[in-house]
Structure 1
Amino acid sequence: MHELSVTQSLLELALRHAERADARRILRLNLVIGDLASIVDESVQFYWDIVSQGTIAEGAELCFERVPGRLRCVTCDHTFPLNGRDYTCPACGQARVVLAGGDEFRLESIEVE
């Protein structure tokens, strides 16, 4: 359900940028979402169709790019893809890691006319 507030914030951001560009219409939003972000693409699309009604963003295409989870080893600084629940660094064998990516949610770009 948190997708509703996320989508409302996304719309506000897109409208602000479109206004700065003197856009008449928002055509497309390119979103980057990490696999660990707990955001469901279909829910964002569902809420987008509702909250964008009556705005210059109504009918805009949402394009979702998914980013896999990545970990960084604190011991050797190696960055590697998250593989299930195995947090062992493939470079040094240690399991002292921090999240290095995959939890992001951002508006990468916006196309307007």
Structure 2
Amino acid sequence: MHELSLAQGLVEQLEQAASMQNALRIDRIVLVIGKYSGVERDAFEFAFPFAAEGTLAENAVLEIEELPVEVECCQCKAVSHPEPTFLLCRACGSNEVKLMGGREFLVRSIELEIP
């Protein structure tokens, strides 16, 4: 499962950040996942507890903010939010679009318990 390896990599990064702050545990993580990132939210939420087991993030609350796909049309210059499977301009229907957002997979914030 692709999401399990992503969750394991995330937990490793979280543990590094937490150890730099001498944290006792990680209480909360807020992730941003774009709808065009290739990360399935439900699968990631399912995989995260397995990846976090036995780590400082084991009981952390995981919050996920989903970002829509955002494109700019090369024809009419409109910015729109199409479905990830149909990257077409919603204003004129052109398929000549520039992807502006939706591929994100990043940590927005981490809450740590520090002694």
TM-score for the superposition, normalised by structure 1: 0.85
Query: Residue 109 of structure 1 aligns with which residue?
Result: 109
The question of 1:68 aligning with 2:68 is answered yes
The answer to whether the 8 A contact 1:89-1:95 is kept is no
Query: Residue 88 of structure 2 aligns with which residue?
Result: 87
TM-score for the superposition, normalised by structure 2: 0.84
Write the distance in 2 (CA, Å) between the matches of 1:42 and 1:95: 29
> What code does the residue aligned with 1:5 have?
S
Q: May I ask how many residue pairs the two structures share in their alignment?
A: 112
CA separation of 1:93/1:37 partners in 2, compared to 1, >3 Å: closer, same or farther? closer
> What code does the residue aligned with 1:103 have?
R
For structure 2, the residue ranges without an aligned partner over 5 or more in a row are none
Aligned ranges 1:46-61 → 2 under 5 Å: 46-61=46-61
Write the distance in 2 (CA, Å) between the matches of 1:56 and 1:99: 36
Percent identical among aligned pairs is: 36
> What code does the residue aligned with 1:66 have?
E
The answer to whether the 8 A contact 1:75-1:94 is kept is yes
Deviation (angstroms), 1:77: 4.1
Deviation (angstroms), 1:94: 4.5
The answer to whether the 8 A contact 1:31-1:62 is kept is yes
> What code does the residue aligned with 1:42 have?
D
For structure 1, the residue ranges without an aligned partner over 5 or more in a row are none
CA separation of 1:13/1:86 partners in 2, compared to 1, >3 Å: closer, same or farther? closer
